Structure 1
Amino acid sequence: MTMMSQRLSTRHARATIALACVGVFVSYLPVVGVSTALPVIQQALNASTAGLQWITDAFILPTTALLLSFGVIGDLFGRKKVYLAGLGFTVIGCLIALTAHSVLQVCIGQALTGVGTAALLPSTIGLIAHVCPDHRARAKAIAAWTASLGLGLTLGPLINGQILEHVGWRWIFLPTLVLGAAIAVLGALTVADSRSDRERHLDMPGQILAVVGITGLVYGVIEGGGTAGWSSPLVIGAFVLAAVALVAFVFVERDTYPMLNLRLFRSPAFSGAAVVMAVLLFAQVGLVFALSEYFGLVRGASAWDIGVRLIALNGFTVVLGPLVGRMMNRLNAGLVLFIGLLIAGVGALLVNLIDAGTSTLKAALVIGVLGIGIALAMAPITTIAVDSVPRRLAATAGSANSALRQIGSALGPAIFGVILTDRTLATLPGHLAATGLSQADQGQINGTVSAVGIQAGAFLHLSTEQSTGQALAAYGESFTDALHTCAWVGGIGILAAAAVSLVLIGVRKRSGDGNADDGVAGADSTPAAREAVR
């Protein structure tokens, strides 16, 4: 290779990494940001509670269900094509939502944006793995990719908070639309394309069963945690359909050319990363949801203020990204992951220190500990998943990892929402009784919260200012009781994930160079382990 071609190759590699990071930033910019606009959308479109829930879930469902499919399509037809298609879906979805005059139209826009994210996540990981054959360079690139994802989650609420304060809610979709279109033009000109060098097939039975199984699972959780309830025939039917489809998926994927090579799970490191990713995202997104509700309903914070107070949860992923990349190379990705999970678990448990009167500084310190732990843990999970398999399977591993990320993200708010509602309703009568309010006032407050749910905290009102203040104080104490239950669930879950990582991934420094071609990194660098995932 001539010096000129080497420079061009290096330039294409850097451009590919940069645009892959910007692509995942764009895909995650609206994820949390749209949630900040839900109260405004509710008033503007006269939306029901179920309608508001589906504005968020319309994004989650296609993202989760189509991740594996787009990973295979990228392997077959080129990851650059899938990358550009993902940006195209994102732009079209934002355009539809930008011009929406109904909840249905917003949901359609969100669904197309979710399809775009499903295409961008596996394609960006595949593009990075292709241009970074050296595991050290790949670890740094994946750390930057993770930081870009965190940056989207961090800036989304802040940007939308400013937009909501100055212009209409529809304009929250404009930044993603403009950025997505601009990046698509740059990507078409500069991104280096790649595809799998092994024979692959679309595997239509596997595609259909994966979509049905994942959609049924996520839909069941969403509806079960919402107005339908867990005993609803529709919810039970969704879970039964999901179970049947996923069992059938396992049998179908034993074919010669599967969509998801189940032999990947013979790698302890890959299996450990899969479990840790699902649990960590479940706890992280669930706690973000619970803390957002706490600041909004108990502390009366605006959308902008909530974004600022929660900035550390995802912001440290951005700030510490370069440091985490260097730590993984000097120490070991498994060790960095284990340390991060321990810190995140402790941070989640420290949320028990937050109550209705906690100062902003104290809450920020608690959230900061949780954010540092998440920042240390997030990049190693993806790196371990990709490095634990042959490089030719890196995109497949990345797709599976991202699918579990989305499943955890979907389960978190649904289950934590149930905890918040049930615990608040269970403890509210006792706190109201302690205030000395009349039986009539106590009955009115209990009835309002029972009928509306935790959102009733935004408009609780009694006949006098003093009685309203007493009612709001009791509601705040009940809500923080529920928040503490969420903290225990999240903290114990993360610490359990730390134990899983210690057993399946380990913390010893690896001796090989990762998965340059057919090898398997870390604990799976034995010939038997390499053969298991061929």
Structure 2
Amino acid sequence: MSATASPDPRTARQTRLTILLACVGVFAAYLPVVGVSTSLPVIQRALDASTVELQWVTDAFILPTAALLLTCGVLGERYGRKKVYLAGLGVFCASSLLCLVATDVVPVCVGQALAGVGAAALLPSTLALISHVCPDHGARARAIALWTASLGLGLTLGPVINGLIADHLSWRWIFLPAVVIGLVVVLAGAFLLEETRSSRTQHLDVPGQLLAIVAITGLVYGVIEGGSTGWASAEAMVAFAVSAAAFLAFVLVELRSAGPMLDLRMFRSGAFSGAAFVMAVTLFAQVGLVFGVSEYFGLVHHASTLDIGVRLLALNGVTVLLAPFVGRLMNRVGPGLVLFAGLVTAALGAFGVCLFHAESGTGSVVLIIAVLGLGIALAIAPITTIAINSLPRGLAGTAGAANSTLRQIGSALGPAVFGAVLTARTVAALPGHLAASGLAPADQGHVSGLVSHVGIQAGAFLHLDTPASTGQAMSAYGASFTDALHVCALISGIALLVAAAVAATLIGLRRPAPAQAPATTAPATALTPEH
């Protein structure tokens, strides 16, 4: 074919359809994530669920997602990305149907776990589908920016849609939109997507799969338990020990395997290693701080589910609006520079949360989190683009799975660590603020004991004998919570600046050279770019 030949219309159409279906798939997967979290008070009242049970409603999604991402990435490369994509959507629809008919909190947790399995299949398969139809790095960067925007759109619209549904219908109907979207996309994908798989031989590597699942499950479970029962608790310590042992065994097995599920030679690439670290730290800082800000809206401002969702539009909505701009900007100045600028901007937004007070107006609060959202919007698409483009195209599914695994691990660490900080600092600061409030000593002891026993959620039902004393208690609680939120903001801002320094060092700020297969003594086909 000559260099001036016009593109094949059928190929261009197939590319557009593949990108569209990949974006809609990841949108469906992330639609209920934040939406379910902001709906927990409604679910608690309807099902009379305990605090521990409510925590597992969200954690049941995170655990299988993080544990199975690498496995699903390998399955897609070996058996076909379209098959894994459609299977993920099918499981996701089934999970939403189970939650839709649930009459107890246990089926909701099981449904959330199945949704996590579906998300684990969708994330690497959608990235691999995009990488296959976009061999050009510039086109791939623009497509990944749209993919990131679709993920952000799900996170953005989920709380708003769930808030509208929860205000007018039963809580269970919050799962209906995901079912409808999922079924439509399954039917469209079955007819419109073309099957693709890696051209290199991909072994299942069962020992590696099992060890990876145990290592990631142990880590995430340990974080969950540590955040709720204490980092020195027996459950958390055992989980961390099992995770460390499994991770060490995983590395040894992968280094000796003729067909490893995760080719550790990928980490010889400074760009890939840097992107992996930055992804985990960025999601830790972002999701952890957003968790704290959401709690601030609910417990200090007493906003409804819908109001919280609308306020969070300033955070995730920026990602959606800036997606086309970010894709073009990456192609013009390079993803490394865009990533660095995004991380620094996000850090400034995080530090801005230190200006929050119990009486802060909605306008100033939303403006500050919009700065955080702007930084995250500039950072997330470049991280994913760098991770995918730093390796040969045949490793797109594995690279995408590793990238998404770190996304989920960071997402799990954030709320657990920041939740523990919020609780500890609120409890520590509360006696001083109560004493300054003029509340009677007996009431001060009652409020301190309640918050120490229940945790920060006590702010949702903190009522004393008189309206005046309740107002004094709530004022002291609000001041204590915002003190704790300021500590979380400092942690988040510092973490983002560390990520920016790592990005500048390992990834660089210049436009990267095309990826080359690492030197190796393994067979030449192991890391050969896909054609």
TM band (smaller chain)? over 0.9
Q: Tell me, in whole angstroms, the C-alpha distance in 1 between the residues paired with 2:85 and 2:374.
A: 30
Residue 218 of structure 1: how far off its partner (Å): 0.3
> How many residues are aligned here?
522
Q: Deviations over 1:212-250 (max 9, x none)?
A: 000000001101101x22222121111100000001001
Partner amino acid, structure 1, of 2:153: L
Structure 2 residue aligned with 1:224: 226
Q: Secondary structure at the match of 1:250?
A: helix
Structure 2 residue aligned with 1:250: 251
Q: 2:157 aligned to 123, 140, 155, which one?
A: 155
Structure 1 residue aligned with 2:18: 16
Partner amino acid, structure 2, of 1:501: A
Residue 467 of structure 1: how far off its partner (Å): 1.0
Conserved? CA contact 1:264–1:533, under 8 Å: no
Aligned-residue identity in percent: 64
Q: Deviations over 1:171-192 (max 9, x none)?
A: 0000000100000000011112
Partner amino acid, structure 1, of 2:247: L
Q: Tell me, in whole angstroms, the C-alpha distance in 1 between the residues paired with 2:494 and 2:378.
A: 18
Conserved? CA contact 1:127–1:192, under 8 Å: no
Structure 2 residue aligned with 1:462: 464
Structure 2 residue aligned with 1:196: 198
Q: Tell me, in whole angstroms, the C-alpha distance in 1 between the residues paired with 2:23 and 2:335.
A: 20
Q: Tell me, in whole angstroms, the C-alpha distance in 2 between the residues paired with 1:317 and 1:306.
A: 18
Q: Tell me, in whole angstroms, the C-alpha distance in 1 between the residues paired with 2:511 and 2:8.
A: 32
Structure 2 residue aligned with 1:279: 281
Residue 6 of structure 1: how far off its partner (Å): 2.0
Structure 2 residue aligned with 1:80: 82
Conserved? CA contact 1:153–1:314, under 8 Å: yes
Structure 2 residue aligned with 1:497: 499
Structure 1 residue aligned with 2:422: 420
Partner amino acid, structure 2, of 1:492: I
Structure 2 residue aligned with 1:241: 242
Conserved? CA contact 1:13–1:192, under 8 Å: no
- The more displaced of 441-450 and 2-11 is 2-11
Structure 2 residue aligned with 1:321: 323
Structure 2 residue aligned with 1:473: 475
Structure 2 residue aligned with 1:60: 62
Conserved? CA contact 2:278–2:499, under 8 Å: yes
Q: Tell me, in whole angstroms, the C-alpha distance in 2 between the residues paired with 1:205 and 1:101.
A: 38
Structure 2 residue aligned with 1:205: 207
Q: 2:405 aligned to 403, 406, 414, which one?
A: 403
Is 1:126 the counterpart of 2:109? The answer is no
Q: Secondary structure at the match of 1:225?
A: helix
Conserved? CA contact 2:394–2:527, under 8 Å: no
Residue 509 of structure 1: how far off its partner (Å): 2.5
Q: Tell me, in whole angstroms, the C-alpha distance in 2 between the residues paired with 1:78 and 1:442.
A: 62
Describe the shift of the 1:212–1:527 C-alpha distance in structure 2 as closer, same or farther (beyond 3 A). Answer: closer
Residue 411 of structure 1: how far off its partner (Å): 0.5
Give the TM-score, by structure 1 length: 0.96
Partner amino acid, structure 2, of 1:224: G
Q: Secondary structure at the match of 1:175?
A: helix
Is 1:440 the counterpart of 2:438? The answer is no
Q: Tell me, in whole angstroms, the C-alpha distance in 2 between the residues paired with 1:527 and 1:79.
A: 27
Q: Secondary structure at the match of 2:83?
A: helix
Give the TM-score, by structure 2 length: 0.96
Conserved? CA contact 1:270–1:388, under 8 Å: yes
Alignment RMSD (CA, Å): 1.7
Q: Tell me, in whole angstroms, the C-alpha distance in 1 between the residues paired with 2:214 and 2:120.
A: 16
Structure 2 residue aligned with 1:146: 148
